[in-house]
Structure 1
Amino acid sequence: MPNTDLKLLIEAARSAGEIARGYFNTSPEVWEKSGGQGPVTEADLHVNRQLSADLQGARPDYGWLSEETEDGHGRLKTDRQFIIDPIDGTRSFIEGSKDWAHSLAVSENGVVTAAVVYLPMRDAMYTATLGGGASLNGAPLFAPKDKPIDTATVLSSKPNMDPKYWATTAPPFKRAFRSSLAYRLALVAEGRFDGMLTLRPTWEWDVAAGILIVSEAGGTASDQAGKTAIFNNPHPQINGTVAAGGIHAALIDALA
């Protein structure tokens, strides 16, 4: 039921945005996660509680995978799952940047069927359903067309340019950066950037929604080996993420 799921995700994302805006630029309490997994704020936890109430309350038979909820693996026995990052780009949130997002997705049999990436401080609601296209605030999205890779602009963190990741040398594209992986994917779907990549093991909640939005905008999204990402894995990570319009194949070919 992708269409009714999308409506539910949109409503939940707007509620989450209201909560997060209340903490923004107010010096919320911050903790460092164990294992070098980065910071979490009281806003992340409050948003997570609200999303759980809104989404699981409406679909109690769906599994639950969220960055801010301990994974009990009960989701593996369900037919459909919510895959949630309450605030993707927590460092940006803490620093006062507007480039953080709520990332909400529904998966079925390993495939994302409905997705929302919402940036409350920009009032930007990116949405998609499987086979139903992608949109930003209701306007259709179209990923960028083919172009020479050396004139492309790609969203990527600096460590991804290390020579060890590339077959010869990294292509001479222009590099740009946004903290939130979900937002990077949405910007590719919008056509504002030619591609994005992250070459480390990637948590499903960071990219599940964005990958569907790129695909439904006519782009291509895969892991770093060019394979289709499968979701709701026992260990919820995929092998990096590469998403782009026409330069996707060139990016994959250039990788080691």
Structure 2
Amino acid sequence: MISRLSDAELAARIAQGAGEILVGVRHGGLLEGRRLGDVGDTMAQAWIAEILARHRPRDAVLSEEAPDVGDRATADRVWIIDPLDGTREFAVGSADWAVHVALTEGGRVTEAAVSLPATGELFRTDTVDEPTGELTGLMATSRHGGSYEAAWVSSRLNLSMVGIGSAGAKAMAVVRGTVDAYVHSGGQYEWDNCAPVGVAEAAGLHCSRLDGSEIVYNQPSPYMPDFVICRKEIRAEMLTALELVW
């Protein structure tokens, strides 16, 4: 029965379903620009909120697009949601946007799913595979230019920077194996990277803060200024390079 869905299955269905709603919002080019982004954010948030209230009413929720549900300070189980990661990309017709759904327990991600609806991809912690094959020599960065730390790592590890839109799309490029790393130091919030980090960890990738410390979620302030996701083959080189600038 649907009411007995596992956390992993629920996360995946929410991520996929919200993505389908967002694809529908873009249908026919009837909305565009900022209005398209605003409607997408609102509709995806409303649907996700109803699903979690129906299926996990005792859990707390942290979302970019709505006030907290429940008391995150005392709750052990907290869903961290970004109904539309990459609103700007979504609004201009790019494929580099995502839906993030993660469950954290004790500050660690236990289940997560990231959907890339424009490309029909769904990544989930219970089925994701570790990237294999040769390293690509590529690193995901913002289309609008990377940070000093990203440029430093790019130079030290000889990684060519590839511009990709949303945080979820960048992280899933590492999971997919099309790039080797994603270094972020420009400031984000927990909803921007919680589900991507959860999926990346499940895929056997290295994930940490830039100083190498563990990433812990459901903090009193949801601001998450920095992190790195990379292939485990370059973990040591990556952290050594970051020690020199962070």
TM-score, with length taken from structure 2: 0.86
Matched, 1:192 2:160: no
**2:84 alignment counterpart:** 87
| Alpha carbons of structure 1 residues 180 and 164: separation in structure 2 relative to 1, 3 Å | closer
What's the offset of the Cα at 1:56? 2.5
Matched, 1:153 2:138: yes
One-letter identity of the residue aligned with 1:64? V
| Alpha carbons of structure 1 residues 23 and 40: separation in structure 2 relative to 1, 3 Å | closer
Matched positions, count: 235
**2:17 alignment counterpart:** 15
Between Structure 1 and Structure 2, the one with more helix by share is 2
What is the CA–CA distance in structure 2 between the aligned matches of 1:222 and 1:44, rounded to whole Å? 28
Q: Calculate the aligned-residue CA RMSD, in Å.
A: 2.6
What is the CA–CA distance in structure 1 between the aligned matches of 2:131 and 2:67, rounded to whole Å? 35
What is the CA–CA distance in structure 1 between the aligned matches of 2:60 and 2:226, rounded to whole Å? 23
Identical amino acids, percent of aligned pairs: 28
Matched, 1:49 2:41: no
Matches within 5 A, 1:221-236: 221-236=207-222
| Alpha carbons of structure 1 residues 174 and 29: separation in structure 2 relative to 1, 3 Å | closer
Q: Which runs of 4+ in 1 moved over 6 A?
A: none
Matched, 1:206 2:192: yes
One-letter identity of the residue aligned with 2:141? S
What is the CA–CA distance in structure 2 between the aligned matches of 1:49 and 1:163, rounded to whole Å? 37
Residue 165 of structure 2 aligns to a residue whose secondary structure is: coil
What is the CA–CA distance in structure 2 between the aligned matches of 1:10 and 1:78, rounded to whole Å? 22
TM-score, with length taken from structure 1: 0.83
What is the CA–CA distance in structure 2 between the aligned matches of 1:224 and 1:146, rounded to whole Å? 24
| Alpha carbons of structure 1 residues 62 and 92: separation in structure 2 relative to 1, 3 Å | same
**1:104 alignment counterpart:** 101
One-letter identity of the residue aligned with 2:181? G
**2:131 alignment counterpart:** 143
What's the offset of the Cα at 1:20? 0.6
One-letter identity of the residue aligned with 2:31? S
**1:253 alignment counterpart:** 240
What is the CA–CA distance in structure 1 between the aligned matches of 2:149 and 2:61, rounded to whole Å? 38
| Alpha carbons of structure 1 residues 191 and 70: separation in structure 2 relative to 1, 3 Å | same
One-letter identity of the residue aligned with 1:97? S
Comparing 152-161 with 193-202, greater Cα deviation is found at 152-161
One-letter identity of the residue aligned with 2:224? I
Matched, 1:177 2:174: no
One-letter identity of the residue aligned with 1:154? M
One-letter identity of the residue aligned with 1:249? A
1:13/1:118 contact within 8 Å kept: yes
What is the CA–CA distance in structure 1 between the aligned matches of 2:37 and 2:62, rounded to whole Å? 17
What is the CA–CA distance in structure 2 between the aligned matches of 1:76 and 1:28, rounded to whole Å? 39
1:16/1:102 contact within 8 Å kept: yes
For each residue in 1:62-81, what CA deviation from the matched residue of structure 2 results, as whole angstroms up to 9, or x when unmatched? 11101101347722221101
